[in-house]
Structure formats: structure tokens, C-alpha cells
Structure 1
Amino acid sequence: MHDIRAIRDDSAAFDAAMARRGVENASAPILELDEARRAKIHAAETAQAEQNKASKEVGAAKAKGDEAEFERLRALVGEKKAEVAAMQAQAKELDQQLTDLLMSLPNLPLADTPDGADEADNVELHRWGTPTPMDFAPKEHFEIDGVKPGMDFEMAAKLSGSRFVVLQGAVARIHRALAQFMLDTHVEENGLLETWTPVLVRDDMMYGTGQLPKFGEDSYKTTNGWWLVPTAEVTLTNLVNGETVDASTLPQRYAAHTQCFRSEAGSAGKDTAGMLRQHQFEKVEMVSITHPDHSRDELDRMTGCAQGILEKLGLPYRTIVLCTGDMGFGARRTHDIEVWLPGQDTYREISSVSVCGDFQARRMNARFKPADGGKPQFVHTLNGSGLAVGRCLIAVLENGQQADGSVALPEVLYPYLRGKSVLQADGTLA
């Protein structure tokens, strides 16, 4: 959410930043509502003062035995009381309208976020690794002989419908090994705190990270009011919801491996083959809560953490910075990491790392106490995939595929597979 005081102080700067996100003249309706709200609050306070004054005079009139003046003042008190109540209700309604409007607007981009309309205007930052030449036509993950016994889409469709998968045997074990490897790396090498959180959350947690009110259709809600998390960003970031932490505790860095649930609204017909785009999937999520002065550097550090996972797995990737037209609602700058998939002959997103500034913190009322004892300030929040486990499985299978239908697995996974190094063409590990 945006700071109304900052908009009042420099509406031109706010409008210029919003125009980069495709929203023109954003401040006009905000300032109009804000002025009406403040005027109503002032009128209510004036009427309240008049009510208080009349209340004091009622007693004096009674003591003097001036019945007519007593009745007039008593009626005036009642009139002012009703007037105050009505204006306070109107002010509250205007305040809610202002809050809703501020919550509906995307975050302001950082100065170093490139301008652009869509993904065609994204800018490549970094590329690592060279795709391994294959002397055969590479297959997509679900077509590889060794994968087929352990990846069942028909059974999943019987159980749940489209965009689900049943993993079994060796493929399920590799999937589990990847998640464990990611968590161990983030905890032991990257200094993140392993955290286990619920996957069912309350409305205000979804509001806090920006999934509500605008993107409710992208998530699932239970009949008793809980939401299934689309990512552990929701729970990890909300650990500081309503809290005021000491500056000495920052940065707070978390990692969690969870199930994630997305309705994939608006993606009909897109990535329907295989397990690239699923309603239920697993992800190792990274979240950092930082001091405002350090959040931009933290974005680069977190991007490096995600890249490091791919490098350890030997998977070629490229990192791009999203332009203003392709960036997510709550982000100020986003680095997408795309892994090479030989079966598709292209790079596909496997991680998105974003700095949100104080955008989420304002929604959550999450602050820190400065070391110098000054007024509490809003923290900055960041989130990123470290990585999407299913997509990482796809990349491992496709990049390691052999002509005979087997898959050579990354060496870093051997300890998690009891020394096994190959998914054989018959679907077993050896």
C-alpha cells in the first residue's frame, strides 16, 4: 500500500512513477478522496466541540432554573450528537474507500527498473552455463522413457482433474531429493532460517502480501474461510505482521518448503502438457525482512542464492530483470531466473526474486525500532523462489536425458539418493 502523506507532499513524483506502471493521473482520485475524508473529520471534530460546549451549558441552565434554555441546550446536544455520529460514519466510509483505492494500485518501480510494456522489453542481466549438445532429438520431460513409469497424468486427472500429476517411485524420490538439497543449501550455506508454516491462512494474511483484494481469483478459498497459500511468501512475510522488531534483528532471512496452490486463472490452454503449470506444486521459498537501507543489496544476494542452486545442479540458466509492464503487482524490481529446457529448446522461468520496499509492510503494519531510538519505521520485504521444485525436476530430467531413455542425475543429489546416479530407462534408480 502507498503512503498518503508522500502522495500529498509530491503528487507529481507519484504520478510519474505510476505512469511507468501504466497508470495515468493516479493521484487525482486519491487526493480528492483524501480531501473529502479530512474535511469530514474536521467537521465532525467541530461538531463534537460544539456538543461538548452545549453539554457543559446544560448543567448551568438547569442550576439557574432556566427551563427554556435547558430544553434548548439539551435538544442541541442531541442534535450535535447525531450530527457527529453521521459525520464520523461518513469519514469512516471515505477512509475505507481511500484505503481500497491505495490497495488497488501497484507498487512504484525502482529507478533502475527498466521501462517497458511487456516481456519483450525485459533485459537480460546474466547467463551461466552452456546447454549440453545432444546427438539425438531431446524430449520433453514427460516423454523420456525413464520418466514415464513415475509420472502419471491420467491417474491425476481421475483423482483431481487437469493440471495435476501423480509422481511415483524414482521420479518422486528425485523430486523429494531436490527439495531437501535446496533447503540444506539455503540453511547451511546461505544463512536462511528453515521454517515450517501452515498452508491455510486468514484473509488478512493474504491482504498483507497483496494477494487480496485484487487477485482473489488466482487462489483457492475453503468453505470455512481459509485460503490455500499460492506461495510460502504469504506465511513467511506475515511472520512480522503487526510486529515492531528491533533493528538489531534485521535482516531476518527465512526458507520454507511447502505445497502451493494456484487456480491458474486466465491460463487456459497455456502449458497444458506435462507438469510445468500445475494447480498444486511444491516450492522452496525465500523471504527476507530488512532495513530499508539494505533491501536493494538483499535483492542481489537472494538472486545469487537462487542462481547458486542451479549452478550446483549444473543447469544452464539466464537471469533477466523484468520491465515495468511485466513486473508483479507488489514488486519494485524483479529478477527472473530462467532455466534451459532442451525438450522445449528454450529458457523457462524457475525463480522470481522481488524487492517490495515498504509496500507489504504498510499493509501488514510491520515496523522496526531504529538503533538510535527514533520513531519506528516500516521494514522492507523481499521474496523469491529458491526454487520451484517441480520445474527444477523438469530441468534435471530434460538436461540429463540420454539417447537410451535414461537420465544422468546431478552429482549433488547422490547423497540424497543413497549414492544412486542414474534414472534408468525402465524407471528405476541405479
Structure 2
Amino acid sequence: MTREPIECAVRYRDTWGGSAIKLFAKWNTGSTKRASFWQSLTGPSRLIFFAAVFFTFSCLGFLNVMTTPLRQPAWQIVAMVLGSAIFAIFYAWAGVLRRWWWMIVVALSQVAYFTVVVRFGGQRALLLDPHSETQVQLFWMSLLGKITLIAGYTFFLIFFGREGVRYFQAHAEIKLAQEIHQRLVPTIERQIGRFSLYGNSVPSGEVGGDLVDLVEGGSWTAYVADVSGHGVSAGVLMAMFKTAVRTTVVADSQSNLMLDAVHRALYPLKTPNLFVTAGVLHCDSAGAFSLSLAGHPPLLHYRKSTSDVVEHPAMDLPLGILPEQSFQSTRITMESGDLLVLLTDGFTEVFDDKKNEMGIEPVKATVQSNAARPLPEVFAAVRKIALAFGKQEDDQTLLLIRAN
């Protein structure tokens, strides 16, 4: 056997055959995505779609009746209109499910249905001369009306199909980001020595920008961070922040030194409109805390000995504001029964119907009256008072540390 047929076959495989396979794969992928989009629709959305199909194609029934020069009984008119609309729904349903062979069955059923309807109509009187100018004009106007109606519906399907694929892709990406966020921000409930810790974050949307985390080693660091903005971009920066913290804590134990290093790592990578507020508590081997607050709401310190709540305000700008930034720290000492509260502004910047801001005072009062309760119940009480004041518009994150 000569090499020419083999070489010819190889060239066909690498050019026309390969292109055909790629084209089929692309068509099949797009078809699968469109099918996935339609199948992801809720029941009410599907009902609205099929109602639109019903009323659009019932128009074809009326056009068919208009072009018939014979007198027709009311039942036959209703049957023609309903038949046009209902069979259109079956065609649409077959297209949604990608059951193309169903359309053949539907087409045969449609022919049989209209044959029976016409035959049972019996002998009918003429309303117009079939060859009159009026009847000819009605026929052509009806025909053009059917063509433009079907063409318009087809283009609408193409448009919604293309946009539906884009929506489904974006929705899938957001769903993936949401799953990543849930893994990055799990609920914290730990006992370390004489300290009990509880941290929880409730995002306002599908992807949050708040972070509560605990890094353990010879000593341990707990912190809360709040990325400006919402959505995927905020979630990405939040993930980068957590990675930078966990890399830095090993080298630098003090809270301010950790923020210095994290800022240097993140500033070249973030977009100009994003920044991060953070509240960091580092507990040393002696059980004392160093606190750093970078543009963050104040730390609340409930002191059991005096039954009051002391505020420790922010000491520095948020991370990412200036190219070169340094951060301060202060020392916090806890006695048995004391409670530390780090929160994000999603709890304080809640507004009622009159646009009044809740502020931090109700949070302080709630912490003071619930300080002895289990930490998850303290979190629930703070969130309850915030939701009672107004709708949640921002992520709500809380870190609680109690000295036993």
C-alpha cells in the first residue's frame, strides 16, 4: 500500500475532520449549557415562559380563522386557537428538554388534530368569494403576519438562549465563589487554655467580604477583617488577606507587625478602590493580648468586675489606603469573666425605615446584658437586635473571646 492514501487520511483528520469534531464539541457544549440553564429555572419562571408561548401562538389560531372565507362555529374557532397555542407549548417543552424527536411526534399529532377539527366542522357557508381582492389581501396579510410572528419568536429564543448561557456561567462562578467563601470563613468555636472563642460571619449576599479567623501555634491570633465592597472581587481580596495573615503570623507574633507585613504583601496586588479594615488580637504565652485596629469599629471589652463595657477605638487607617503604612498596637489584659467583642460595621451601620443609624450603643447594651450567656447565644442576641432595628445590608461578623 502506498503512503498517499494514508497521508491524505491523516491530513483530512487534522484539518476537516478535526474542525468538524471541534465544531460538534462546541455545539454540544453550548447545547448542554443552554439545557442546564432551562433546567435551573424555578417552577414560576417556567410557568411564565409557557404562558408567554401560549398567548404568542394563540395569535396564529386567530390568523388562521381570519383567512378562512367560510363561516365557522364558535367551538371550532376556540379549538383552532387553543390548538395553535397548546401545540406550541409542546414544541417549546421539547426544545427545552432537547428532545428533538418529540417534535416529530408533536407535528404528526398537530396535523391529526387540525384534520379532525376541520372535518367535524361540516358544510359551512361562504362569507367571501375566495378569489375576491379582500380575501386575497387577508390571505397574504395573514401569511406575512405568521412569518413575522414566528421569526420574532425565533429571534427572541436565540437572544434569551445566548444571554441565558452567559447568566448560567456567571451564576456558576458565583456559586463556586460562595462555596470557597464558606470554606474560608467557617464558624469558630474553640477552647484555648482559659479562653473560650466563638466567631461567626453572616454575609449579606452570596459572596461576603468579611472574615473571622483563628491562627493557632505556640501562641494564637484571632482577627476580624472587612473588605470594602461586595461580591466576587471583595471575596477574592478576603481570601488573599487570609492567606497573607496565615503566612505572616508564623514570622511576626505582634499584631501590629503582622498588619505591617500583610499590607506590604497586599497593596501591590489589590485594585485602587479596595481596602481592608481589620481588628487583630494576639494572645501571648502569658495570656495577655496585643490589639491592633486598622480603620475598624472599636473593640468592646466587657469587664465583669465593674459590669461595664469599655471601647478601644481604631488606631490606624485601613490597610491598602497608602502605599506605605505602619500600624500600632496596645495591650489588653483580661480577668476571669471578661468578654472581648470584635465586630464589623454590618452590625452598627444598620438603618431603620427613617434612615436612622443604629450605632454601637445598642450593641454595647446587648453585650452587657448577655455577657454571662454562652457565646453563641451572645452572637444571636447581637444579631437579633440588629435585625430588629433594620434590614441587613452588609456582612455581619462577630468574634467573641471570654476569659474563664
Query: By the TM > 0.5 criterion, same fold?
Result: no
Question: Taking structure 2 as the reference length, what is the TM-score of the superposition?
Answer: 0.27
Pick the structure with greater CA Rg. Answer: 2
Higher relative contact order, structure no. (Cα contacts within 8 Å, ≥ 6 residues apart): 1
**Structure with the higher helix share, 1 or 2:** 2
Q: What is the TM-score of this pair, normalised by structure 1? A: 0.26
